Chains A and B, each alone.
Chain A
């Protein structure tokens, strides 16, 4: 790099974007907390992390009557004297006069501070491998930019920001340079290659390969009663009835198919989906539930183009565009309203282009109307949709959206996260090049499978019929080596209490609050739950509450027979760890 800069200086062919800006970014000058802030700092504003080189060039070379650079006496430039603290600088001393960035800035000013080089080249892409970042330019040249790139570890317990692995596991390092983003995966095994885990369908090929590579042994399969309870909680959001517990036949695939065919599957997945969409009105929620079995792409198309629900709750093009990004593409676009997304190649222009699809939508008296004119503006200029020419722009958006890879991947990732306890990409609505999936090929395969017919029940069934889904619960659940137990969600918990007690039980605020002391107190002392306790045999109580028969040990331990004793046992089962989790 130093050599390249020296050569560049010698040939007087220095380029602001390629040779100057990276130093400012690396020094943090254009970070959000310094001159990259939306309002700049002390009258000097740069674009966030250098996403807008033209703006930055103008700010440096023209503003303040050009005093920031002094072409006559380059080393008198404010751009050099402030950060070296020869003059007062709120940001303190960020470089010394014998440093590489200082020399680069000085060389540029000496060369008359050009914006572009005489023979300008553009950065086309970057490539990152552990320990090295390479920039590729439009003339075919490349540079080692390792020292100028910004690097962040997604999990610094596993690896440092520079990619040095610290512990067993895997994570990715996000690399940013010149507005481009790349990710490098780094990690190491937990132990020597493990014996192969069982396989039930294609999903297991991907999961098992990773387990074996990372030296993780899979937990054994869970028993039938556990599988029944787990699959019912996941598919229909309810615990089994005593009858269902007593009729277990061990045919798990048939059980899954039967669950997916139940009407409660629609209710449960519909409300999960409504939650993800933030649907407020019961009518909207009901509509979503009615669409759970219909092809997902068609549902989203209708939601965007034909139905009013979404527009009745979000009457703002920006919010609508953000919803499309977050709910259907698993992307967070909000940041880009004000500045280019710092972790992603999604610019302000992209953001406004997405909003333009909704620019002419108006909701009047509960009906959607399209106006014939009207655009959103960015920097005073109207922004038009990036593609399409339909009179109703939303048609173009829906076609593009539902045909995109990201659409199917985002849905597949959400389904996987719901069933397996965490997404292949986490958080599920933060899918981006710099946050790669733990199992990229698996996510691709699930998405490809989903795209065949966009059937939600079929995708859910595929995951539930894998060996990975059916493992015993336990510690060491990295890469799905074991089932991760999750606390029951408040709504499901209330339903489970109602079923176990056979009474009316409403979800209370304390129950919905998540796993808190308030919830525990309510489960213990709430008059509602205590009023539903009825004495029954130990055997029946176990079946009703824990969806399994008691073991011999449990039967022997709970030997009391009087009514109060059995009611207290009922209470204890309802407050138990086993009842409160999906395991």
Chain B
């Protein structure tokens, strides 16, 4: 059932009446998510800028050249399923993954689309919703030693806490894992006994002061900071030098590679939601070069995105599996939207939210499945359209987060973790 209020929100903020009707036809989600959740943690590899579905997981070799682009499809262990030739290692692991090919959204602007896919809510001017990582931090606690929501190296737009406020903002490592990586200020400059005394003194200063009542975000940060400072294990999780050089090599020396490695270390140490924020997927021109060749920006030469992605994600999946962590770790690889089916005059593709792909693996995800498909030119889902809120509902389900739970905004308004959104059951093991 949809009520009048939601209907009006929709009609005003650009949800078409047909969207609203489609929502109205949907059955309500079960109020309580399944008790036996598949995953303990989630690693989100966020391909910031919008990766082309036609150059990654949804190639259209039969389409005219201005649509199919330059890349050839490559075989996978799944019958009849092909992915891009520049993702050969991921291709081999597809029997561990679910590929969603019919993700579709109405938002074609980076910020709005990111908000939609990272929070499960269409953006509105009144409120910023919390990202999945912040919701997880709220659900599981912000972390007593290691922060539960960490972004590498920084948080993308709308990967933050929204109305849940500062305390649930991600901890950004603010340093590039592929070069001179060091997280600042993790170690106290005084010995353990003095750290404890300082902690007690600070608590007393705050308790005896009447100037300000609790400042929720700051108070939580103080607690987290002490947890981090006093736990050697937590600090060690950030130390990439402890990793076997061979393993470091296997992930690739790229930023995304070393970020994925760090993500694995953090999840292994107990972090619940780690986002690898990989920039550079907004390929408006020279898409083939930017994805699989080399290109210059100023004087710096860059390698295309796909080989690095292939190395990083395949290493992550293999490593998690070898350590017995894949069953408890949900891995999601996606960006805010797909790209225009037709190549533009400068050899690029522009924003295309109506068709997008996502790769899921690990904790509770079905092995070797492809969900949905797009039409002949990759324009629209031809079957099983999946909205951002559907995917977000599925991720929450796998993490055991009850989407019916209500959190309050600063003004006290109760809001469900997710409103609408239907489980993608085909993706569940």
Query: Residues on A close to B: CB < 8 A?
Result: 26-29, 31-34, 89-95, 150-157, 160-162, 167, 169, 226, 473-475, 485, 487, 509-510, 515-522, 524-527, 530, 546, 551, 553-554, 557-558, 564-565, 568-569, 571-573, 575-578, 580-581, 583
B212-A572 in contact (CB<8A): no
Any chain A CB within 8 A of the CB of B63?
no
A525-B218 in contact (CB<8A): no
Residues in A neighbouring B412, C-beta threshold 8 A: 157, 167
Closest 7 CB pairs of A and B: A92-B18, A157-B413, A161-B8, A572-B201, A520-B221, A521-B185, A33-B106
For the complex with contacts A31-B16, A580-B215, 19 further pairs of A-B residues with Cβ separation under 8 Å are A28-B11, A31-B14, A91-B18, A93-B18, A153-B126, A157-B413, A161-B12, A162-B5, A473-B211, A515-B166, A517-B171, A518-B171, A527-B189, A551-B208, A553-B208, A571-B201, A572-B205, A576-B209, A577-B211
A517-B9 in contact (CB<8A): no
- A516-B221 contact given A154-B126, A157-B409, CB 8 Å threshold: yes
A518-B184 in contact (CB<8A): yes
CB distance from B419 to the nearest CB of A (A): 12
Residues in A neighbouring B198, C-beta threshold 8 A: 568, 571-572, 575
The residue that A510 contacts in the complex, of B185, B202, B214, B380, with Cβ under 8 A, is: B185
A32–B14 alpha-carbon span in the complex (Å): 6
A516-B166 in contact (CB<8A): yes
A233–B107 alpha-carbon span in the complex (Å): 42
Residues in B neighbouring A521, C-beta threshold 8 A: 184-186, 225, 228-229
The residue that A161 contacts in the complex, of B9, B206, B222, with Cβ under 8 A, is: B9
A565–B201 alpha-carbon span in the complex (Å): 10
A577-B201 in contact (CB<8A): no
Any chain A CB within 8 A of the CB of B169?
yes
- Chain B count of residues within 8 A CB distance of the other chain: 60
A343–B225 alpha-carbon span in the complex (Å): 44
CB distance from B194 to the nearest CB of A (A): 6
Residues in B neighbouring A564, C-beta threshold 8 A: 194
| Pairs A–B under 8 Å by Cβ, sample size 15 | A29-B16, A157-B409, A510-B174, A510-B184, A515-B218, A516-B221, A520-B221, A524-B225, A524-B229, A525-B189, A530-B190, A568-B194, A569-B205, A572-B198, A576-B206
Interface centre among A95, A475, A571 (most CB of B within 10 A): A571
- A162-B21 contact given A510-B184, A578-B211, CB 8 Å threshold: no
B204-A156 in contact (CB<8A): no
A572-B202 in contact (CB<8A): yes
B8-A575 in contact (CB<8A): no
Residues in B neighbouring A152, C-beta threshold 8 A: 8-9, 12-13
A508–B171 alpha-carbon span in the complex (Å): 17
CB distance from A338 to the nearest CB of B (A): 12
Number of A-B contacts (CB under 8 A): 190
Residues in B neighbouring A475, C-beta threshold 8 A: 213
Any chain A CB within 8 A of the CB of B217?
yes
Any chain A CB within 8 A of the CB of B188?
yes
Interface centre among B184, B205, B224 (most CB of A within 10 A): B205
Any chain A CB within 8 A of the CB of B370?
no
The residue that B205 contacts in the complex, of A29, A89, A573, A581, with Cβ under 8 A, is: A573
- A577-B5 contact given A516-B169, A568-B194, CB 8 Å threshold: no
Interface centre among A160, A162, A573, A578 (most CB of B within 10 A): A578
- A520-B16 contact given A525-B186, A525-B188, CB 8 Å threshold: no
Residues in B neighbouring A557, C-beta threshold 8 A: 204, 208
Residues in B neighbouring A155, C-beta threshold 8 A: 126, 411
B14-A33 in contact (CB<8A): yes
B212-A150 in contact (CB<8A): no
A150-B18 in contact (CB<8A): no
Residues in A neighbouring B301, C-beta threshold 8 A: none
CB distance from A324 to the nearest CB of B (A): 23
Residues in A neighbouring B187, C-beta threshold 8 A: 525
A515-B21 in contact (CB<8A): no
A161-B5 in contact (CB<8A): yes
Any chain A CB within 8 A of the CB of B17?
yes
B174-A517 in contact (CB<8A): no
Residues in B neighbouring A32, C-beta threshold 8 A: 14
Interface of chain B residues 155 through 214 with chain A (CB within 8 A):
166, 169, 171-172, 174, 184-190, 194, 197-198, 201-202, 204-206, 208-209, 211-214
Any chain A CB within 8 A of the CB of B4?
yes
Any chain A CB within 8 A of the CB of B22?
yes
B6 to chain A: closest residue by CB: A161
B12-A151 in contact (CB<8A): yes
- A487-B215 contact given A92-B21, A516-B166, A578-B209, CB 8 Å threshold: yes
B109 to chain A: closest residue by CB: A32
Residues in B neighbouring A91, C-beta threshold 8 A: 16-18
